[in-house]
Amino acid sequence: MLDLTKQALESLTQAVLVPAVARTGEVDEYVRDMKRAIVEFVVEHYQTPKEVLARHFGKSDRWVYRQLEDALKARKNGASKAPSHDGQRLLLDVINFFQERFPEGATPGECSRALKARSWDLNGVELEPCLSLYVAMGYLEGRHDSETGQVIYSVPARNLTHTAKGQEERGALLRKHCEFILPIAISYLRGDEGARFGFSKASVLPRYFVEAVRDIRQYQIRRIIEAVADSMRDDPEEKQHRVTFASLFLTGAIDPEEGPSTVSSVDF
């Protein structure tokens, strides 16, 4: 079990956590917060004495107490929404510039001149590699101006809205449901019959994307209800061994670029 957990964690770290942290640039902050969160998790879920935690993590008692103290202070102070370092501040200033002043697009030179008011000493040539990085990460998009030969950068339309309706509730559900990713991954690695870690990807019209997701979700719920009803009919006193399974339904628009309707990947 330990080997499978470590294997699943490595896969999730490389495929989920690393890309996410890379997009924010919060390397040090992420490592710090992870240490606190790990210690708090064990304390809250297992009510383990601090000295046992220290032995489990291979740390000193003082290290465990410090993580808990720092976590408590962070909650009291509240999560700061301000950029935590210069790299992140530059990213946010660039995005805000394009959103607020040049939603139709601007050159690196125009952006750099505006950033001087934010105390940035970068010319267009120095700034352009950063803008190219932000394009690769999905924060910006660039197009070549045939007349000037320059690249015009802008914020993709899908990024113009920061806050979705019901964001707080969605955030709570996201945290709750993500708890099942690790046990599902371990079950798949273990080779349990029925365990799936499937993947599908297609390019379709937006309205058909919404319709397909709705139909898939409805069938999933109906089929699970049928399986529960069949189990209760065959074993009403619940004397036989049962399997508690979880099905995590994930779907989202990952490539909003226009293109032909295709199925580029199906893996179940």
Token output for 173: 């559900």
Which residues of the chain have a pLDDT value below 70? 78-83, 158-164, 255-268
Q: pTM for this structure?
A: 0.76
H/E stretch holding 144: strand 141-144
114: left (phi over 0), alpha (psi -120 to 50) or beta: alpha
pLDDT of residue 160: 60
Residue-level pLDDT at 221: 92
Nearest to 250 by CA among 200, 208, 183: 200
**Tell me, what's the pLDDT at 159?**
65
Separation between Cα atoms, residue 107 and residue 243, nearest integer Å: 58
Q: Phi and psi dihedrals of 200, rounded to 5?
A: -140, 145
The residue count of the chain comes to: 268
3-20 pLDDT, tens digit per residue, is: 999 999 999 999 999 999
For 150, which DSSP code?
A: P
Boundaries of every domain in the chain: 86-159
Number of neighbouring beta carbons within 10 Å of residue 170: 11
Question: What is the pLDDT at residue 232?
Answer: 94
Looking at residue 255, its pLDDT comes to 66
The confidence score (pLDDT) of residue 260 equals 59
**The predicted structure's pLDDT at residue 158:** 67
Q: Topology of domain 86-159, per CATH?
A: Arc Repressor Mutant, subunit A (1.10.10)
Output the pLDDT for position 178: 92
CB 203 within 8 A of CB 261: yes
| Per-residue pLDDT at 261 | 62
Residue 161 confidence (pLDDT): 58
